[in-house]
Amino acid sequence: MRMPYVNSRLAPMGTTIFAEMSALAVATGSINLGQGFPDTDGPEEIKRAAAEAVLAGHGNQYPPGAGIPELRAAVAAHQKRFYSLDFDPDTEVLITAGATEAIAAALLALLEPGDEVVAFEPYYDSYTACIAMAGGVRVPVTLRPPHFRPDLDALRAAVTDRTRLLLLNTPHNPTGMVLTRAESEAIAQLARERDLLVVTDEVYEHLTFGPEHIPLATLPGMRERTVTIGSAGKTFSFTGWKVGWVTAPPALVSAVRSAKQFLTYVASGPFQYAAATALALPDQYFTTLRSDLERKRDLLADGLSAAGFEVFRPDGTYFVTTDISGLSDKDGAAFCRELPQRCGVVAIPNQVFYDDTEAARSLVRFAFCKGDEVLAEAVERLGRLGRLRG
């Protein structure tokens, strides 16, 4: 759709693929394996904590700008419990309206117009929009199938004197790649050598299937230059609550807060109380979340393979990227537009996450954060595609 009033920085972004594909799923009554949201909510006790907060009048009026103290303390305790990282809840934690606002505020606060941001593509779609809104210049380093491992020489070559920051995402959406310790160390070394800031989106930190998630801030010399972003949406299956957070040293938190205060000022008052309760859930919650999702990954991945897709089994996130070449000569965008009519399933073409769209011409992403019976039905429907090649 042509948007005549939008400025030149945003015009190329159009409507997000997630809104477009979820609308298509509703319009066609399809199974939505496009936009990444779980089809069952997180724990009952956490829902109750949110309801109780509303009824008790906690957070119904503007919470403090930095977030409620209980949640800031819970975020700090979480970073300590899982990663042995110490953050001062008063000066080194900032609560945001989901990770989305954290990303926006970090980029708006840290970039001068013309500054370069080096990021791996495919990138989560809000990165390109927020870099553009901040007047920055994105410099992609392409991840390629089958393993989507970062090319560290290409990363090094992409850094120039105009590079202000590295924008990282591990575990990585949409590929499911999880940076290894050696890769993270190489990236950290580059950041130190070239004196770069790092903004690292770790919203899928608990969704890994084998490989360990390594927060960039845990590596030597990185805590002081890193803005780490997390979200209750992914870890606790409440994507509608929009509770996210930033952990960073005081000067970086204060910079991010300068932008954040003029975006939403604050958000999600009562849900902040519920997120504080959620972050204190016992370890078993996190291990069960992971093992459930691993089973779902295998269910969908095996079904997609049997249906004729080439499957790149992810180490993390709740997305699986596939290659459709065995099933279609069309590109991913055309394939995904037709998929609802052909078999009643919605997926996302990975092309939309790339500058180098050719690199993802035949790549399509499916979400597996859905009920086992929903995934089984989707697999059954996708299984019919091979017989209807087109």
State the binding partner of 171 from ligand PMP, ligand GLN, none, CB within 5 to 8 A by kind. Answer: none
What is the per-residue DSSP string for 207-269? -BSSSPP--GGGSTTTGGGEEEEEEHHHHHT-TTT-EEEEE--HHHHHHHHHHHTTTTSS--H
Determine which residue in the list 30, 32, 35, 175 makes contact with ligand GLN, applying CB under 6 A. Answer: 35
Q: Which two tokens stand for residue 332?
A: 């991913």
Contacts of 175 (CB under 8 A, 6+ apart): 122, 143, 148, 312, 314, 319, 321
For position 173 contacting ligand PMP by CB under 6 A, the verdict is: yes
For position 314 contacting ligand GLN by CB under 6 A, the verdict is: no
State the binding partner of 314 from ligand PMP, ligand GLN, none, CB within 5 to 8 A by kind. Answer: none
Name the one range near ligand PMP by CB under 6 A: 93-101, 192-200, 259-267, 321-329.
93-101
- CB closer to ligand GLN, 19 vs 306: 19
State the binding partner of 231 from ligand GLN, ligand PMP, none, CB within 5 to 8 A by kind. Answer: ligand PMP
Residue 76 CA to residue 298 CA, distance in Å, equals 33
At its nearest, how many Å lie between ligand PMP and the CB of residue 65?
A: 18
At its nearest, how many Å lie between ligand GLN and the CB of residue 182?
A: 27
Determine which residue in the list 30, 79, 163, 169 makes contact with ligand PMP, applying CB under 6 A. Answer: 169
Determine which residue in the list 59, 140, 233, 314 makes contact with ligand PMP, applying CB under 6 A. Answer: 233
Residues 24/16, Cβ–Cβ less than 8 Å = no
DSSP summary character for residue 84 = -
Q: Nearest-CA neighbor of 375 among 268, 270, 302, 276?
A: 302
- The SS3 assignment for 151 reads coil
At its nearest, how many Å lie between ligand GLN and the CB of residue 81?
A: 25
State the binding partner of 169 from ligand GLN, ligand PMP, none, CB within 5 to 8 A by kind. Answer: ligand PMP
Binding mask 17-36 for ligand PMP (x = CB under 6 A): -------------------x
Residues 217/229, Cβ–Cβ less than 8 Å = no
Determine which residue in the list 203, 248, 374, 382 makes contact with ligand PMP, applying CB under 6 A. Answer: 203
Name the one range near ligand PMP by CB under 6 A: 105-113, 220-228, 239-247, 352-360.
239-247
Residue 94 CA to residue 20 CA, distance in Å, equals 31
State the binding partner of 226 from ligand GLN, ligand PMP, none, CB within 5 to 8 A by kind. Answer: none
Residue 368 CA to residue 293 CA, distance in Å, equals 8
At its nearest, how many Å lie between ligand PMP and the CB of residue 169?
A: 5
- The SS3 assignment for 2 reads coil
Whole-angstrom Cα Rg for the chain: 20
At its nearest, how many Å lie between ligand GLN and the CB of residue 44?
A: 24
- Residue identified by tokens 């997305």 is 319
Strands (E), the chain: 31-32, 93-97, 116-121, 137-142, 163-169, 197-201, 226-231, 243-247, 310-312, 319-323, 345-346, 348-349, 363-367
Binding mask 165-194 for ligand GLN (x = CB under 6 A): --------x---------------------
Residues 66/257, Cβ–Cβ less than 8 Å = yes
- CB closer to ligand GLN, 65 vs 240: 240
Determine which residue in the list 92, 116, 121, 201 makes contact with ligand PMP, applying CB under 6 A. Answer: 201
At its nearest, how many Å lie between ligand GLN and the CB of residue 102?
A: 13
CA trace torsion 185, 187, 189, 193 (10° rounding): -170
* 125-133 helix and 98-110 helix, angle to the nearest 10 degrees: 30
State the binding partner of 35 from ligand PMP, ligand GLN, none, CB within 5 to 8 A by kind. Answer: ligand GLN
For position 285 contacting ligand GLN by CB under 6 A, the verdict is: no
Given the rule CB under 6 A, which residues bind ligand GLN? 18, 35-36, 173
Given the rule CB under 6 A, which residues bind ligand PMP? 36, 98-100, 124, 169, 173, 201, 203, 231, 233, 239, 242, 244
